């Protein structure tokens, strides 16, 4: 059985490090800082869109040359910035339980793959995931289903469940026709009831039983 996770807002709370890197990139351009709430609201559609939203909020528009400089600066800082990033409660223990039960685990994130692998190494999770696809691994990013399908292909045959925290993840799961478990404390912008999902949860110890149920549904469909 295959269980695929989003990263930011699902397994880890990285918003404080993203915010710090964003304000450093803004300062380098002489632009004012954004608040933590603003930064958090811009997360979810990949780094390039995130930087464009920063520009829009602070300068009124995105300019190609500035956007390229800010994106490069942001990624340079963020790849090495993990001090404020924390796993959500019970995540490491739950990942261990899932692997012990025979689940193959994958990661499908819009974060570029180098920062994604860097944070995995920082957390000691290098060997936890059998497949990792980042926001620059393919020409498209979520909610296009191609990244999720790429992870599924690398994991191998069997029922699949996707776990995420946002509207983007819900749309990705629906496009890939994969059951979706919504982690409600993450970075979603809408009420839980407005986000399509098969199950919702706010505690990681509940995930193994939820995943078993959804995998049964996926297996029945397949």
Specify whether the CB–CB gap between 78 and 17 falls below 8 A.
yes
Cα 195 from Cα 44, distance rounded (Å): 14
Specify whether the CB–CB gap between 96 and 47 falls below 8 A.
no
Per-residue tokens: 117? 């692998």
Q: Residues of 10-43 as b/e, b for ≥16 C-beta within 10 angstroms?
A: bbbbbbbbbbbbbbbbbeebebebbeeeebbebb
Concerning whether 202 is annotated as a catalytic residue, the answer is: no
Which phi and psi (to 5°) does residue 57 adopt?
-70, -30
DSSP assignment of 10-41, as one string? TTEE-HHHHHHHHHHHHHHTTPPP--HHHHHH
Closest to 119 (Cα-Cα) out of 90, 74, 71, 85: 85
Cα 106 from Cα 157, distance rounded (Å): 13
**181: alpha, beta or left, given left = phi > 0 and alpha = psi -120 to 50?**
beta
Cα 112 from Cα 75, distance rounded (Å): 8
Catalytic residue among 6, 8, 165, 169: 6
Q: Which residues are catalytic?
A: 6
């Amino acid at each position: 059985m295959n269980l695929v996770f989003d990263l930011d807002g699902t397994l880890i709370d990285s918003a404080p490090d993203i915010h710090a890197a964003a304000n450093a990139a803004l300062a380098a351009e002489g632009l004012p800082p954004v608040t933590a709430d603003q930064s958090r609201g811009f997360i979810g559609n990949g780094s390039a869109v995130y930087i464009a939203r920063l520009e829009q909020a602070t300068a009124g528009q995105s300019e190609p040359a500035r956007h390229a400089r800010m994106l490069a600066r942001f990624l340079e800082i963020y790849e090495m910035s993990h001090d404020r990033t924390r796993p959500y409660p019970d995540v490491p223990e739950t990942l261990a339980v899932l692997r012990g039960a025979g689940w193959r685990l994958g990661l499908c994130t819009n974060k570029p793959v180098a920062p994604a692998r860097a944070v995995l190494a920082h957390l000691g999770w290098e060997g936890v995931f059998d497949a990792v696809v980042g926001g620059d691994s393919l020409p498209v990013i979520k909610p296009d289903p191609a990244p999720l399908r790429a992870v599924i292909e690398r994991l191998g045959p069997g029922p699949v469940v996707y776990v995420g925290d946002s509207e983007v993840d819900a749309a990705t799961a629906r496009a890939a026709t994969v059951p979706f478990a919504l982690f409600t404390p993450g970075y979603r912008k809408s009420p839980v009831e407005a986000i399509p999902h098969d199950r919702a949860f706010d505690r990681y110890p509940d995930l193994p039983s939820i995943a078993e149920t959804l995998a049964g549904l996926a297996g029945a469909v397949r």
